[in-house]
Amino acid sequence: MLFFLPACGINQAGQPTSLPTVTLPLNPTPSLTPFLPDGEGSLSIPTRPFPTLAVLPISTETPPPAELIPLPAGQVSILLLGSDQRPGRSDFRTDVVVLMILRADGAVSLVSFPRDLYVYLPGRSMSRINAAYEYGGFELFAQTLDYNFGLRPDHFILTNFSGFMAIVDSLGGVDVNVGQALSDARTGYPDGFTVYAGIVHMDGETALWYIRSRATSNDFDRLRRAQEVLVAIGQKLLTLQGLAHIPELYQAYQGTVVTDLSVDGLLAFLPLLQGADVNRVSRYAIAPPLVTPWIEPYTGSYYLLPDPLAIRAILQQAVGIP
């Protein structure tokens, strides 16, 4: 998530001339796969036509594929994913799902999807959106957004809990513009922990707690908090002249993130990033009334049923279609 987030910053004043010392371990191999599920590399799933249904859905019919959204030329979309994978485990879910769109006109859009969104995974079944990456990597996730909503992301960046904390700590922490106070339980704090509205400096552990906490709030509030932290990371990278140090950042973080982007691919987007208008960052959340809570009657599982047309309208706004 860190290479493109400078486009989401809002203050370029007082930039130092060098990056902070980064002490993350480096991955000596060119493959950015430190925590991919077993066997993912063997998958090869075509874009369209979609794979045929392999597993029947539980209670709802498989929806027809959405019509493709015609995208304006010159823009790039990057899927930012945060996984809950624990050490020694190959199974995980991507509970943070943010689609970032860098537009040719200088605007930037962030669209957050809730983890319980009930969608069709092409070739598999109806499922939560947060299961797509584990079952089929970025290719299946891209197909899932394409099939259900008509927009296929171009690239992805994925990190897990430890990787996220390491990124934030390597930057010396981040200053998060907290929209509203949050109090919740936190390990090591017997009386709980509170952050108040306004600018709050967070280290990696605090930022992760802030994104994941939901005992006193809900998943929709988590969408807002995740965007606040992502923007704060972008601001910090911008003040560190991150755009001028893409190769160094790529090398430093390659053991911490998984991405399909190469250094050359990142550098190719440099003009687009440099042209981003920091005063034109739009944030969207797929939340009620765009989704409806639903309990699956046979299993008792909780899902969010999407309103495909309403979500499509949001995505059209995000890509700049009136």
- Burial readout 161-196 (b: 16 or more C-beta within 10 A, e: otherwise): bbbbbbbbbbbebbebebeeebebebeeeeeebebe
| Whether pLDDT at 35 is above 60 | no
When pLDDT is averaged across residues 61-85 and rounded to a whole number, the result is 90
Q: Given this model, what pLDDT does residue 282 score?
A: 92
Q: Given this model, what pLDDT does residue 228 score?
A: 93
| Whether pLDDT at 308 is above 60 | yes
Mean pLDDT of all residues in the chain? 81
Q: Rounded to an integer, what distance in angstroms lies between the CA atom of residue 221 and that of residue 271?
A: 34
| Whether pLDDT at 23 is above 90 | no
Write the CATH number of the domain with boundaries 5-319.
3.40.630.190
Q: Given this model, what pLDDT does residue 133 score?
A: 94
Q: Rounded to an integer, what distance in angstroms lies between the CA atom of residue 87 and that of residue 253?
A: 18
| Whether pLDDT at 301 is above 70 | yes
Asked if residues 146 and 154 have their Cβ atoms less than 8 Å apart, the reply is: no
* 143 Rama class: left (phi>0) / alpha (psi -120 to 50) / beta: alpha
Q: How does residue 91 score in pLDDT terms, banded at 50, 70 and 90?
A: low
Q: Rounded to an integer, what distance in angstroms lies between the CA atom of residue 182 and that of residue 177?
A: 13
CA 207 to each of CA 33, 93, 152: distance values in angstroms, whole numbers, following the listed order: 24, 19, 29
| Whether pLDDT at 22 is above 50 | no
Ranges 53-62, 99-108, 224-233: which has the least confidence: 53-62
| Whether pLDDT at 77 is above 50 | yes
When pLDDT is averaged across residues 215-222 and rounded to a whole number, the result is 88
Domain coordinates of the chain in residue numbers? Answer: 5-319
| Whether pLDDT at 132 is above 70 | yes
Specify the higher pLDDT residue, 46 or 290: 290
Tokens of 83: 């996984």
